[in-house]
Chain A
Amino acid sequence: MKFRKSKNSNVDVDMTPMIDMTFQLIAFFMFTINFNNELVELGIKLPMAERARPPDRVNVPPLILNVRNNGWMETGTNIGIIDLTDPAAKPKLEQFLKAQYEFIKSELKIKFDLDGPTEEYKALAIVRADQDCPYGPVQTLIRACRDAGFTSFSLRSLLPERR
Chain B
Amino acid sequence: MIRTVGQSGRLWRWDVEIKRKAPAKKVQSDMTPMIDVVFQLLVFFLFTFKIAPMEGEIGVNMPPADMGSSVSQQPPDFQKIPVLLFADDNGELEYIKIEDDPLDDSDGARGLKTLTERLLASKAEAETAEMQVEVQIDADPRLRYFWIIRGINAIQRADIEAINFQDPQPKS
Q: Is A53 an interface residue (CB 8 A)?
A: yes
Q: Are A135 and B168 in contact (CB under 8 A)?
A: yes
Point out the residue from A37, A138, A151 that lies within 8 Å of B148, measured CB to CB: A138
Q: Are B64 and A146 in contact (CB under 8 A)?
A: yes
Could you tell me how many residues of chain A have their Cβ less than 8 Å away from some Cβ of chain B? Answer: 52
A24 → B minimal CB distance (Å)? 10
Residues on A with beta carbons closer than 8 Å to the beta carbon of B65: 146-147
Q: Are B165 and A26 in contact (CB under 8 A)?
A: no
Interface centre among B45, B65, B145, B168 (most CB of A within 10 A): B145
Q: Are B55 and A46 in contact (CB under 8 A)?
A: yes
Considering the complex, which residues of chain A in the window 91-119 have a beta carbon less than 8 Å from any beta carbon of chain B? Answer: none
Q: Are A158 and B56 in contact (CB under 8 A)?
A: yes
Q: Is A129 an interface residue (CB 8 A)?
A: yes
Q: How far is the CA of A49 from the CA of B168 in the complex (A)?
A: 22
Q: Is A79 an interface residue (CB 8 A)?
A: no
Considering the complex, which residues of chain B in the window 102-151 have a beta carbon less than 8 Å from any beta carbon of chain A? Answer: 139-150
Q: Are B56 and A139 in contact (CB under 8 A)?
A: no
A67 → B minimal CB distance (Å)? 8
Q: Are A134 and B144 in contact (CB under 8 A)?
A: yes
Can you name the residue of chain A whose Cβ is closest to the Cβ of B156?
A: A51
Q: How far is the CA of A26 from the CA of B146 in the complex (A)?
A: 39
Residues on B with beta carbons closer than 8 Å to the beta carbon of A32: 49
Q: Are A134 and B91 in contact (CB under 8 A)?
A: yes
A-B pairs with lowest CB-CB distance, top 7: A52-B56, A136-B141, A29-B45, A131-B146, A47-B149, A154-B57, A159-B56
- 21 of the cross-chain contacts (CB-CB < 8 Å) are A22-B38, A26-B41, A33-B48, A33-B49, A40-B52, A42-B50, A49-B152, A55-B56, A128-B55, A134-B141, A135-B139, A135-B143, A138-B148, A142-B60, A146-B65, A155-B152, A156-B55, A157-B58, A158-B53, A158-B54, A159-B53
